[in-house]
Amino acid sequence: MTRPPVIGLLYPGYAAEDDFPALEAALGGAIRLPLAHTSIDRDEHTVEALLDTGSATRLAEGADAIAVHSPDSVMWACTSGSFVYGPDGAAAQVAAISDRLGVPASSTSIAFVEAARALGLERVAVAASYPEELAGHFSAFLAAAGIEVVSFGSSGIFTAADVGRLGPEAVVEMVRTVDVSDAQAVLVPDTAMHTLNCIDALETTLGKPVLTANQVTVWEGLRLAEASRPLPGLGRLFR
């Protein structure tokens, strides 16, 4: 019997990490999503704190912890802790993880770019949970990849823990508020937000693709593992 693909997740702190085992259970073991918590000093949505969260030392420790699961690919499951480094820095982060473990690696920020390209997206809206200053770095990351942000919303939530407490109704409202007709899709960064149980509802509400941090993290991990497949409940990206 062929084993299911194993996507190792490096997840900073504690907020919405339960999204991933819930998805694994809902899919009946079709994929495996083992997770290692990487250490954080301060749970703050500030550039300074997130540069520390995504530091080489913390990611190396996480990589060593996830190695016991023999992953087919590894994802740095953090949007802000990757985009604050810019495109070159984010690429260096995942190259170091890949070199350490000998398997392909990526991050949530890079996954957003790859997913947008896979869907042919050029103009998007962004519904960010972060304070505006931090959220601006995500827009710049997308712009560097040739993706235009035509509508932008920042909820100003200061900690990942607070984002993790948002319910599905709050997430839907956050996304609906930023949608404009010129946006081909809405992007929802922040792996601290529970989103894997409401993507189909979001897309039905808007009538267009919605890309969320936890969704693109799983998609990119499967892509790197050469195990891409349709999965129910996860929106157009997985269809």
CATH code: domain 7-110+215-238 is 3.40.50.12500
**pLDDT value of residue 20:** 98
Token couple for 25: 């259970």
Per-residue buried b or exposed e for 154-175, using 16+ beta carbons within 10 Å of the residue's own CB: bbebebbeebbebeeeebbebb
**pLDDT value of residue 105:** 98
Same topology, domains 7-110+215-238 and 112-212? Answer is yes
Q: How far apart are CA 183 and CA 144, in angstroms?
A: 18
Angle ∠(146,151,153) on CA atoms, nearest 5 = 115
Domain spanning 112-212: CATH 3.60.20.30: no
Helices then strands (H, E): number in the chain?
Answer: 11, 8
**Could you identify the residue written with the tokens 């260096």?**
92
**pLDDT value of residue 151:** 97
Segments making up each domain of the chain, as ranges = 7-110+215-238, 112-212
pTM for this prediction: 0.96
**pLDDT value of residue 183:** 98
Q: Tens digit of pLDDT per residue, the chain (239 long)?
A: 589 999 999 999 999 999 999 999 999 999 999 999 999 999 999 999 999 999 999 999 999 999 999 999 999 999 999 999 999 999 999 999 999 999 999 999 999 999 999 999 999 999 999 999 999 999 999 999 999 999 999 999 999 999 999 988 899 899 999 999 999 999 999 999 999 999 999 999 999 999 999 999 999 999 999 999 999 999 999 99
Beta-carbon count within 10 A of 132 CB: 12
